[in-house]
Amino acid sequence: MKGIARKFIFLISVVALALPCIASAADINPLQLSLPPLSDRGRRPVESEHRPAPVRIYSLNDANLSKDAEAYVLHPDGSIERVAIKKKGGGMSVSFRTPFGDGPMHGVHNLYVIDRKVIDGILVVRVAKWMTIHHHCSWGHDYKYDRERLRPRFLDTVPLEIVGYGLWDGNFHSYTRSGDRIPFRVFSYGRPAQKARVRLCTARGWCKEKITDSDGRVTFQLIRDYYPDSWSHFRSQHRDRFYVTAEYEIKDKGTYSGETYNAIKMVSTLSWWYSPSRKDYTSYLAGFSVGMITLTLTGVSIFIYRERRKRPLKEVVFNEKD
């Protein structure tokens, strides 16, 4: 009997290994937006508030979206535009137009991609958010320090949204640097999401996780993680991106696309630029200045010392008669 039981257990394990793996709701791949990969010429795309573009194109990290996935843009003037999610190569991309010039399109555009599907009896909702600053100083500054245009916006129709504060200054220039304390708020359909788990990860791999308070607030301090091989390679305008991921669960029952679920799990992402702290290169400049002053003073001191050690020339006359 023991031999038969062992064979039976062995057969079950073989069948289990042969079956295809089914993704569980516990292992959710967050949906993220990013700049497109390298172009055909090998150039990396650059997005900057100083480089406006008539069309913005972004890539999704996951091509396995449900048929009901949707994308739309919240423009600076408050209007909402639905945009298409298109297949590009082996991935997915989203694009929208940002015409040049000051006016309705001048400011911060929020792009949202929302995907829903039922996995293991749980309704999994993934939200990817990207903020695009459309600005150029040559257009004028009609919206400079305009509180309505500058304030971070969010939508009460988004299942889970991360809102960052103090990410740009009063003239639509990115203001985030290493060492800054950045406050965030997490909203679920326009209401603060209490006890949401929020994780911030920098481009160099440093991560920190916190839980939101009763008002959906959480604050992270960016660490310094830009260390070039030598100070001669240091670039004050160097930019990296950090990603913020929020997870929020709700005990609710319902049906979506003909499938029943007993709970809802929402995952949202947000990305933004950050640069080295001003203290990094100002301290380097100060150190360089001190070094130059010290070198100059040392040279002057050596020169004075040598001048003082010089003996005056004395002329000696020999009288052969004596």
Structure tokens at 130: 């990207």
HSE of 257, CA atoms in CB hemisphere, 13 A: 13
Rounded to an integer, what distance in angstroms lies between the CA atom of residue 171 and that of residue 86?
Answer: 33
Rounded to an integer, what distance in angstroms lies between the CA atom of residue 320 and that of residue 107?
Answer: 100
Mean pLDDT score of the chain? 81
Rounded to an integer, what distance in angstroms lies between the CA atom of residue 59 and that of residue 271?
Answer: 13
The mean pLDDT of 184-193, rounded to a whole number, is 98
Distance of CA 89 to the CA centre of its chain: 25
The mean pLDDT of 238-267, rounded to a whole number, is 94
Beta bridge partners of 182: 220
The mean pLDDT of 245-256, rounded to a whole number, is 96
Residue 304: pLDDT band with limits 50, 70, 90: confident
> Could you state, in order of their start, the residue ranges of all structural domains in the chain?
23-276, 278-311
**DSSP-derived pairing of the beta strands 263-274 and 122-134:** parallel
> For residue 1, what pLDDT is reported?
47
Residue 11: pLDDT band with limits 50, 70, 90: very low
Residue 321: pLDDT band with limits 50, 70, 90: low
Please determine, for residue 52, whether its predicted confidence score (pLDDT) is greater than 90. no
User: Tokens 């979506």, residue?
Assistant: 256
Please determine, for residue 135, whether its predicted confidence score (pLDDT) is greater than 70. yes
Rounded to an integer, what distance in angstroms lies between the CA atom of residue 126 and that of residue 67?
Answer: 14
The predicted model scores a pTM of 0.76
The mean pLDDT of 215-234, rounded to a whole number, is 81
Burial code (b: 16+ CB inside 10 Å, e: under 16) for 259-280 equals: eebebbbbbbbbbbbbbbbeeb
